[in-house]
Chain A
Amino acid sequence: DGGITQSPKYLFRKEGQNVTLSCEQNLNHDAMYWYRQDPGQGLRLIYYSQIVNDFQKGDIAEGYSVSREKKESFPLTVTSAQKNPTAFYLCASRRQNSNQPQHFGDGTRLSIL
């Protein structure tokens, strides 16, 4: 969707290496989300943030970390503790209202070398 930028599009990680995925939005949305997508698994929530300097774990937070220092930015770090990081990672945002849809970025595809 226009307004949410994820980078890079493709990323390769070596064993034992931390990598950070970028997500920036200019939609002035309060809430931001990170999902992991594996074939046949749908979208699984990693972390989410409803306000600057605050974030909550999702269903599969182990091996990941996030920060929310600015409203526009919600980077995701895949740490070496995540033993199976190969996946498609999607960032999303929405207005802070229960009826608002989520808007997604184009995603980052992470692979292990």
Chain B
Amino acid sequence: GQQVMQIPQYQHVQEGEDFTTYCNSSTTLSNIQWYKQRPGGHPVFLIQLVKSGEVKKQKRLTFQFGEAKKNSSLHITATQTTDVGTYFCASPGGGYSTLTFGKGTMLLVSP
């Protein structure tokens, strides 16, 4: 299946600072999904990006899909302690039956 590389693996910020995680692929992606997993919890779907150059916002979260559809980013403005968790990107595997997940970025926010 397609490989998606996600960086950084881990980030620790002070509350109020911004945060960005990046997802990169060597091949063109048909779409990309983002999930959030709280500590001890399960992944929860956040959003899907389909179009080249697409930008979507959810309150303080901004999601981008690259023009070449090979990379994506999730940016959080002014982090809060409720943002703590691991953020995963995922893209369809061959035949669109499966998803290939990045290894995730763990975000820790200190008050």
The residues of A with any CB-CB pair to B shorter than 8 Å are 1, 31, 33, 35, 40-43, 45, 48, 50, 56, 58-59, 90, 98-99, 101-107
Contact = CB atoms under 8 A, between A and B. Distances in A.
A101 B48 contact: yes
B98 A104 contact: no
B43 A43 contact: yes
A102 B88 contact: no
B48 A48 contact: no
Contact of B30 (A31, A33, A43, A98): A98
Nearest to A106: B42
A99 B49 CA distance: 10
B104 A42 contact: yes
Interface string B1-35: 10000100100000000000000000000110101
Contact of A90 (B30, B42, B48, B92): B42
B102 A42 contact: yes
B101 A43 contact: yes
Contacts of A50: 97
A48 B43 contact: no
Contacts of B42: 1, 90, 104-107
A108 B31 CA distance: 29
Contacts of A48: 97-98
B88 A99 contact: no
A58 B1 CA distance: 10
Given A99-B50, A104-B43, 13 more contacts: A40-B103, A42-B104, A43-B43, A45-B98, A48-B97, A56-B97, A98-B92, A99-B31, A101-B33, A102-B99, A103-B45, A106-B42, A107-B42
